Structure 1
Amino acid sequence: MDALKKERIALEVIKTLKSRFDNFPEDALKNRNAPFHAAFLEAFKVKIEKYVTDIPIFVSLASWMHGLNTSVGQSFFENVAHVLCDGEKRKFHGMLINSHQQSTISNIISSLKNGNRVPILSKENDEIFFSLANGNVEAPNFSADVYYEEEDKIIMIELKTVKPNSDISREQKTKFLNGKASLRAKFPSKEIFFFLGFPFDPLHSKKCGYDKDRFFNYCVDFKKYFDHEEILLADELWNFLSQETGTMEVILSIINAIAKPDFMEEFKFINDAKNIEIDNAKYSCILEKWFLQRELNVVNNFRVLKSQSTEKKNMQRILSQSLFDSQNEYKENRINTLLNYL
C-alpha cells in the first residue's frame, strides 16, 4: 500500500478517535437521563459492580460505545473502502428496467424464498441480463456504499457490520438484482457486480481470518438467498478493494499505531504549529508514527517555508494554522498550498 493511502486511512483513524474523545462521558452529573435503563440495571448491580462502580456511568458508557460502533460502522469502514479502491458512495434514482426483467426478478426472489431454487450467481445474471430491451418500468431507487467504474465493469459493494435477519437478506438480494439489471440496461457493454461486504468475521479466532461457510450458517437465510461469490468477508473484502494482500493487517497496524492512551496529548501537540519549532524531534516522531507523510515533508522543509514567509504574508498565516479544523477534518487546502511552495 502506498504512503498516501496509508496517510488517508490514518486521517480517518484520527478523526474517529478525536470525535469519540470529544464525546466521552467524563462527568457523571452530566450523563444523559436514562431512568428505565437505570431501573432495569439495578437487578444486575452486583454483577456490574465487579467491573463498573457507577450505574449511571455504565449507562453513559454503553451509549458512548454505541456511538463508537456507529462511527466505525457507518463512516470509518466506508471511507477506508473509498481510499483503497478510489471509489465513492453513489445513489441511483429513476433507473429503468423492462417488464421482462421485473417479472424475472420477482420470480427469482419468490423461488429463493420458497426454497424452490438455490442461489447461483451466474444463472441469476443470465436470467436478468437476458432481455435488454428498452426499459419502461422504473426500478426502485438504490445506493451503493462503495462504487467504482472501470472501462469494462462496474463494482458496487454494500457494507454491513451487523448480523442480517431474514427480511434484510431478502431485501438485499432484491436490491442487488434490480440494481444490476438497471445498470446493465444503461451500460450494456460493462460487467456489473454487486457484493455484500463484511469488514470482519465475528466468529473467527484470528483478527483477519474468516470462514465463509460458518459465516453463512450464522447469518439468517444467507444460504437461501446468496451465492458465496456475492459475499466479501474480512480480509477478502479489504484485499478485493486494494487489489493487494494483507490489507486488513495493514489497516489494523495503522489503527494500533495511533490509538494509544496518549492519543489526545499527541493530537493536541501536533495540532499546534508552534510546536514544530519548540520540539521539532518530538513533532516529527509523532507524524512518522501516525503515517502523516505530507506533514513530515513540511516539517523537514520548515526552514525553507519560513524563509519564504518573510515576503509572503499569506504563507505566515498558513504556517500558523492548525492541522485539523474544529470538526476534526484535516485541512487539505492548507497542506496542498504548503506543498506547492516546495
Structure 2
Amino acid sequence: MLHRSKKDSIAKAFNAVLQNRTLLFPTESTFKRNEPFHRVLYHAFEAQLQTRSQDVTSILQVSSWVQGVNTSMGSFFERVACILSGGKKMAFTTKKKTSLKISDTQTTKIKQIWNKPKSGNTSPNEESEIAEILSASSLKMQEAADFTVDVFLETHDSITAIELKSVRPNKGESAGEKQKMLEAKIALHNSFPDKKILYFIGFPFDPTNPTPLGYDKKRFMQYLIGGGNYFAPEEFMLGSELWDFLSGEKNTMRQILAIMENVVGNRAR
C-alpha cells in the first residue's frame, strides 16, 4: 500500500490537471480556431457525426482540447513517476552543460548495431549489445547527443534512468528511439563506470489490452510497428509493470487509478 504522503502528492498533481482542463473545456463562447483543412475532412463524416449528436464545429473544438489533455497527462505521468520512485527529471544537454561523453568508436558501433534489426533477421539483446559497444572504447571522446530522462535515480552502486513515452508513437519511431537509447546507455556507462546502469523506456498503459491493468509486451511491440525488431522485452516496461517497478510495490497502477477516481468523485459532490 502506498504511503499516505505519496497518495496525497498524486492526488494533488491530478487535481491540478483536472482544474486546468476544466477551465479550458470548450464552451459556446470559446474562440473557434481557423482549421480549414481539418474542417473539409470532417465534413466528409458529417452524417456519421450527426448520428452521434455531434457537428463539425464542436468536433474541431473538442479535438483541440483532447490534444491538450494528452499533453497534460504526459506531464502527470512524469510527476507520478518521480513521486513513486523518489527520482527526478534530468537533462544531459550541451545547453545545460551537463552533457556526457562517448567515444567515436562507440558511436560507430552503435550505428552498426542499429542497422542490423532493419532486416528483421536479428533479435535485440541488451546485454550483448552493451558489451559489444563498450569493448569499442577509445581515448578519443566527444559529447554524446543530448537526452533527457523523466526519472533519474542514483544510489551508491546503481543508476536508474527511465524515459516515459507516449503509447501512440509515430510510425517508424522505434528505430530512432533505439539508437538514442543505446547512446544514452553508453554515455551513462562511461560517466559512471563503477555503477550498474539500468535504462528503460516506460509506457504508462497498454492501449492494446482489453482490461485497464493488463498488458502484453509482445503484442504491444507489434502495435509499435517494428518495435520488436529493436527492443528486447527487458528494455522497456509497460503499464502496471512500470508503476510497480517505480513504487517497489504491487498493484500500484490500481491505486493510482483509485486516487484519480476519488479526486473526480470529490469534485462532483
Superposition TM-score, scaled by structure 2 size:
0.90
Distance 2:151 2:140 in 1: 25
- RMSD value, Cα: 1.9
Distance 2:80 2:68 in 1: 18
Distance 1:191 1:6 in 2: 30
| Residue in structure 2 matching 1:186, options 188, 191, 212 | 191
Counterparts of residues 170-181 of structure 1 (less than 5 Å): 170-181=175-186
Aligned residues: 263
- Output one character per residue of 1:183-220: Cα deviation in whole Å (capped at 9) or x when no partner: 11111101112111111111111111001111122211
- Output one character per residue of 1:138-158: Cα deviation in whole Å (capped at 9) or x when no partner: 211111122111111111111
- Code of the residue aligned with 1:203 in structure 2: it is T
Q: 1:111 to 1:37 in 2, by over 3 A?
A: closer
Answer yes or no: is 1:41 the counterpart of 2:46.
Answer: no
Q: 1:114 to 1:39 in 2, by over 3 A?
A: closer
Distance 1:236 1:113 in 2: 28
* Conserved? CA contact 1:132–1:185, under 8 Å: no
* Conserved? CA contact 1:145–1:156, under 8 Å: yes
Any runs of at least 4 consecutive aligned residues in structure 1 with deviations exceeding 6 A, and if so which? none
Structure 2 counterpart SS, 1:49:
helix
Answer yes or no: is 1:205 the counterpart of 2:210.
Answer: yes
CA displacement at 1:69 relative to structure 2? 1.3
CA displacement at 1:134 relative to structure 2? 4.2
Partner of residue 81, structure 1: 81
Partner of residue 57, structure 1: 58
Distance 1:29 1:111 in 2: 51
Answer yes or no: is 1:222 the counterpart of 2:223.
Answer: no
Structure 1 counterpart SS, 2:199:
strand
- Code of the residue aligned with 1:33 in structure 2: it is N
CA displacement at 1:25 relative to structure 2? 0.8
Structure 2 counterpart SS, 1:69:
helix
- Code of the residue aligned with 1:71 in structure 2: it is S
Answer yes or no: is 1:159 the counterpart of 2:184.
Answer: no
- Output one character per residue of 1:121-171: Cα deviation in whole Å (capped at 9) or x when no partner: 111121123355545222111111221111111111111123334642111
Structure 2 counterpart SS, 1:30:
coil
| Residue in structure 2 matching 1:123, options 115, 123, 128 | 128
Report the structure number with the largest CA radius of gyration. 1
**Overall identity of the aligned pairs, in %:** 38
* Conserved? CA contact 1:97–1:134, under 8 Å: no
CA displacement at 1:116 relative to structure 2? 5.0
* Conserved? CA contact 1:31–1:57, under 8 Å: no
CA displacement at 1:54 relative to structure 2? 3.8
Structure 1, unaligned stretches of length 5 or more? 267-342
Partner of residue 32, structure 2: 31
Q: 1:29 to 1:126 in 2, by over 3 A?
A: closer
Distance 1:22 1:3 in 2: 28
Structure number with higher helix proportion:
1
CA displacement at 1:181 relative to structure 2? 1.0
Structure 1 counterpart SS, 2:42:
helix
Counterparts of residues 278-297 of structure 1 (less than 5 Å): none
Partner of residue 107, structure 1: 112
Partner of residue 4, structure 1: 5
Distance 1:193 1:135 in 2: 25
Structure 2 counterpart SS, 1:31:
coil
The structure with higher relative contact order (CA 8 Å, sep 6+) is: 2
* Conserved? CA contact 1:112–1:119, under 8 Å: yes
Superposition TM-score, scaled by structure 1 size:
0.72
* Conserved? CA contact 1:98–1:137, under 8 Å: yes
Structure 2, unaligned stretches of length 5 or more? 94-98
* Conserved? CA contact 1:13–1:76, under 8 Å: yes
Partner of residue 101, structure 2: 96
Q: 1:31 to 1:233 in 2, by over 3 A?
A: same
CA displacement at 1:28 relative to structure 2? 4.7
Distance 1:121 1:112 in 2: 13
* Conserved? CA contact 2:167–2:206, under 8 Å: no
